[in-house]
Amino acid sequence: MSQVKIFSGTASKYFAEKVAAAYGTKLGDATLYKFSDGEMAPHYNESIRGAEVFIIQSTFPPADNLMELMLMVDAAKRASAHKVIVVMPYFGYARQDRKDKPRVSIGSKVVANAIQSVGADRLMTCDLHAGQIQGFFDIPVDHLDGSAIFVPYVKSLNLGNNLVFASPDVGGLGRARMFAKNFGSDIVVCDKHRARANEIASMQVIGNVEGRDVILVDDMIDTAGTMTTAAQLIKEKGAKSVRAIATHAILSGPALERIENSVLEELVVSDTIPLKQESPKIKVLSFSDLFARAISNVVTHDSISSLFI
C-alpha cells in the first residue's frame, strides 16, 4: 500500500491540521513561495514519490485559493506522487451550476475542468450547493454529507416531537426532507423570488409552523439575507423557536449584523470556512473527524457511504 501524506493550502491549514491529527499523522511539510507581484510557487519539502497525496484546500474567495490548489496538484504530479486527491471541504463557485439566464458562465464546470486539467485523480468535498456538480467531473467524487455531524447535534437539543425542518428556498427542499426523515418530522418551505444575486424581492412560508421548534437547513450562508428573512417570517407565523443549520459559513457583507439582529436563537455551521468574526449566536461544529474517516476509507478502499447517516 502506498504511503499516505496529507498537505494543505494556506487558506485551510487550520482545518487540515485537525484532519491530519484525527487521521493519526502530521501535516506534510510544504512551502508556498510568493514573488513580489503575488505570483505563487508551492514546494514540497519532503519526498512524495509513490505516495497517495491528499491536498486540503477550500476555495472560498479570493481566487488565489483555487490557483494555489491547482499549482500544488501540478507540483505533486511532477514529483511522481502515485495519486493526488483534492480535498475541497468547501467547493467555491458551486452556485454557478447551470445557465439560468443568457450569456452567463457555468462557474462550477470551469472549476471542475481546472482541477482535472492539472491531473487530480480524485475529489473529496462536502455538501455541494447542487449534487449534480459531481457530474461535471470525469474522476471519482466523494461527496460527504454534513448531516453526519449535524444530526447528532440536533438530537442533543432534545426538542422532541415539536421539531419541524424548513428549507429557506425551494431548491433546498431535498436537504430539509432528509433531515426531517431522520427525526420523523414535518417540513415547510420558504418560497423566495430574487430581484438579483444576494437580494430577495419576496418570500412566503408554505406549511404550518405555529407553536413548533423550527430548524432552517441550507448548504451555505452568505449575506444571511435569505436565512434571516425566512426566520423572521417563520417566527411571525407563530413558531416557538427558530434555529438554522448551514454547512459553509461564507458570511460576507452585512451577514454578521443580520444574524445578531435576527430572531434566530442559534446558527450552526461547520469549520470548512474559517469564521471572520465570532458571534454568541454562531456555533461551529468541526468536520475534521468526518474528513479523516473519509480519507482512511479511500486509502483502504472501504465504503464512503458508510459515513452517512
Return the active site residues.
Answer: 192
Q: CA-CA distances (angstroms) from residue 122 to 20, 71, 207?
A: 18, 16, 41
302: left (phi over 0), alpha (psi -120 to 50) or beta: beta
Handedness of CA 164, 154, 126, 282 (dihedral sign): positive
Query: Residues 277-281: contacts with CB within 8 Å, 24+ apart?
Result: 277/251
CA 2 to chain centre: 29
Residues 22, 23, 27: CA angle, nearest 5 degrees? 90
Q: DSSP letter for 135, please.
A: G
208: left (phi over 0), alpha (psi -120 to 50) or beta: beta
Helix (H) or strand (E) holding 227: helix 225-236
Alpha carbon distance, N-terminus to C-terminus of the chain = 29
Residue 277 burial (CB < 10 Å; 0-12/13-18/19+)?
Answer: exposed
